[in-house]
Structure 1
Amino acid sequence: MSLRQFEYALAVAEEGSVTAAAERLHVAQPSMSQQIRGLERELGVDLFARTPTGLVPTVVGRAFLREAEAAVSAARRARATARAGADELVGELTVAVQMGFGTRQLPGALSALRRRFPRVEVTVFEEPSSAELERLCRRGVVDLALMAACERTPADAHHLGDEEFVVVLGAGHPQLAADRVELRELEGESWVRFDRDSALDGVLLEVLRDNELAPATAARVSQTATAVRWAAHGLGVTLVPASAVPHRDEHLVRPVLPAVSQPVIAVVRSSAGPAETALLEFLRQETWPEPTPSSPTS
C-alpha cells in the first residue's frame, strides 16, 4: 500500500467516480482504476460498491478511508515540516470549528498567519456535532480545533475565552425594549432550531429545560447565519453565539437572563508544528469575552 493509493481512494470517495477523481488529481483514468483495484486486492476487500448514483464506499471501505485520511494528513504535515526553512513554511493546515464559535476572532488570526507563512494553505470547516469534532481531533485529522469541551490534556487544550449566547428577535418584537431578555418571558415563542445532532441545538434544549420552557419548533436549519436571518424576519426566535451575529442584525439581539455562555477551547494536535503554534498564538491575541456568570451551560 502507498500514500498515493490512499489519496486516490479518498478522491474517489469524494467524487463518486474514478473518472472525476482522476480529472481532479490530473491522473490518467486507467492508471487510477488500476491503483484502486490493486489496493483492493492487497486488502482482500471491496472498498467501493457501484450504485445508480456512482461509487459509494462499503462499510469496510468507510472504516479504511477514515484511517487513510489520517495517514494522508500526517504525511502532508511531515512534508510541510521537512520543507520548512528559517523564514518559510510550505504545506497545509486544517482547522475545524464548532459551529458559531470564533466567527469574529478567527479571520484576524488567519490573516496574521497568512502574513507570517504566505505559502501555507489553510482549510477551515464548521462542524455542528461536538462529538464528531472530538473524534476528528483524536484521530489527528485536524491540526487545530475550536470547541466548547474536550478530554485532551492541558498541553493540548487552551482556554481562549468564552462565547456568550444571545437571543435573536424579529423586528418589532416587544422584548427588544429590554436590555436583557429573561428567558421565561419567551414562553409560548416558537424557535428556529438547529439539526438534532448539533451542539447548538443541545445548548438550546438545555436552556429551555432549565427555564421550564417547551421547545416549540418553527424550523430547523444547518447554519447560524440562516437561523439569525430567519429569526430577524420573524419566523421565530433563536439562540446563537454572539460572535455569529452579523453586524447588520445586532440591533435585533439581546443577552439573556440567566446568562448563557460556553468556553472556547483551542485544541492542537500532538507534536504541533510551527503553523499550528503560530495560529494558536494569534488566536490568543484576539479579543475574547470574559466568562459570563450564572451560565447554566458552562
Structure 2
Amino acid sequence: MSLRQFEYALAIAEAGSVTAAAELLHVAQPSMSQQIRNLERELGVTLFARTPTGLVPTVVGRAFLREAQVAVSASRRARATARAGADELVGELVVSAQMGFGARQLPGALGTLRRRFPRLEVTVFEEPSSAELERLCRQGVLDLALMAACELGPADAHHLGHEEFVVVLGPGHRLLTAERVELRDLEGESWVRFDRDSALDGVLTGVLRDNELTPITAARVSQTATAVRWAGHGLGVTLVPASAVSPGDRHLARPVFPIVSQPVVAVVRQDAGPAETALLELLRAESWHQPVQSWVTSTTNSVRAV
C-alpha cells in the first residue's frame, strides 16, 4: 500500500467516480483504476460499491478511508513543516468545528490567515458529533478543532469564550415582541431538531428536559442554516448558537432565559506548527462575547412599532 493509493481512494470517495477523481488529481483515469484494484486486491476487500448516483464507499471502505485520511494528513503536515520558511507557509491545514460553533469568528480568522499566507491550503468542515470530533483530534487527523469540551490537557486546549444559544421563531410568532424568551413559554411548540447523535441535539434535549418541556419534533435536519431557514418559514422553533444566525435572520432570533450557552475550546494537535499557532492567535483576537441582546433590541422595537 502507498500514500498515493490512499489519496486516490479519498478522491474517489469525494468525487463519486474514478473519472472525476482522476481529473481532480490530474492523473490518468486508467492508472487510478488500476491502483484502486491493486489496493483492493492487497486488502482483500471491496472499498467502493457502484450505485445509480456513482461510487460510494462500502462499510469496510468507510472504515479504511478514516484511517487513510489520518495517514495522508500526517504526510501533508510533514511536507508542510519541511517546506515552511521564516516568511512563508505552504501545505495544508485541516480545521474542523463542532456544528454551529464559530460561524462568525472562524471565517474572519481564516480569511486573515490566507491573506497572510496565500500558499497555505486550508480544509474546513463541520462535525455534528462531538464524540467523533474528539476521536479525530486524538488520532491526529485535525490540526485545529473548535468544540465545547475535550479530554485533552490544557497544553492542547485553549478556552476562547462562550457561544450563547438563541431561539429562532417563525414570522408573526407571539414571542417576537419579547426581548428575551422564557423557555417555559415554549411549552407546546414544535421543534426543528438535529440528528440524534449530534452535539446540538444533545443541547436541545437537555434544555427541554431541564425546563420540563414536551419534546414535540416537527423535523430533524443536519445543518444549522437549514434549521434556521425552516424555523423562519414557520415549520417550528429551533435553538442554535447565536453566531450561526445570519444578519438577515436576526429579526427572528431571541436570547432565552434561563441563558443557554456552551464554552468554545480550540484544540490544536500535539507539536503544533506555525500555521496552527497563527490561526489560534487569530481566533483569540476574534470577539467571542457577542452581545446578543444588542442585535435583538432593534429588531424587537421594529416588531412592536408595526
Q: Same fold (TM over 0.5)?
A: yes
Letter in 1 for 2:2: S
TM-score, normalization by structure 1: 0.90
Segments ≥4 residues shifted beyond 6 Å: none
Higher helix share: 2
Structure 1 stretch displaced more, 88-97 or 127-136: 127-136
Pairwise mapping of residues 1-298 of structure 1 onto structure 2 (< 5 A)?
Answer: 1-50=1-50, 54-289=54-289
Output the CA distance in 2 between the equivalents of 1:169 and 1:283: 30
Output the CA distance in 2 between the equivalents of 1:108 and 1:12: 31
Alpha-carbon distance, 1:160 to partner: 0.4
Indicate the SS of the match to 1:21. Answer: helix
TM-score, normalization by structure 2: 0.88
Alpha-carbon distance, 1:192 to partner: 1.4
Indicate the SS of the match to 1:81. Answer: helix
Structure 1 stretch displaced more, 97-106 or 172-181: 172-181
Q: Deviations over 1:261-283 (max 9, x none)?
A: 00011111111111111000000
Alpha-carbon distance, 1:99 to partner: 1.1
Q: Deviations over 1:200-255 (max 9, x none)?
A: 11111110010000111122222212222222232221111111111122222221
Indicate the SS of the match to 1:63. Answer: helix
Output the CA distance in 1 between the equivalents of 2:181 and 2:16: 48
Output the CA distance in 2 between the equivalents of 1:63 and 1:235: 36
1:296: which partner in 2?
none
1:236–1:84 CA distance, 2 compared to 1 (3 A): same
1:52–1:256 CA distance, 2 compared to 1 (3 A): closer
Output the CA distance in 2 between the equivalents of 1:226 and 1:78: 37
1:295: which partner in 2?
none
The count of corresponding residues between Structure 1 and Structure 2 is 291
Indicate the SS of the match to 2:280. Answer: helix
Alpha-carbon distance, 1:17 to partner: 3.4
1:65–1:171 CA distance, 2 compared to 1 (3 A): closer
Unaligned runs of 5+ in 1: 291-298
Indicate the SS of the match to 2:279. Answer: helix
Structure 1 stretch displaced more, 28-37 or 121-130: 28-37
Identical aligned residues as a percent: 84
Structure 1 stretch displaced more, 51-60 or 117-126: 51-60
Structure 1 stretch displaced more, 53-62 or 279-288: 53-62
Question: How well do the aligned residues superpose, as a CA RMSD in angstroms?
Answer: 2.0
Indicate the SS of the match to 2:134. Answer: helix
Indicate the SS of the match to 1:217. Answer: strand
Letter in 1 for 2:92: E
Indicate the SS of the match to 1:218. Answer: strand
1:50–1:158 CA distance, 2 compared to 1 (3 A): same
Alpha-carbon distance, 1:59 to partner: 4.0
Output the CA distance in 1 between the equivalents of 2:249 and 2:49: 47
Alpha-carbon distance, 1:32 to partner: 1.8
Alpha-carbon distance, 1:54 to partner: 4.6
Unaligned runs of 5+ in 2: 291-306
1:170–1:33 CA distance, 2 compared to 1 (3 A): closer
Output the CA distance in 2 between the equivalents of 1:107 and 1:65: 27
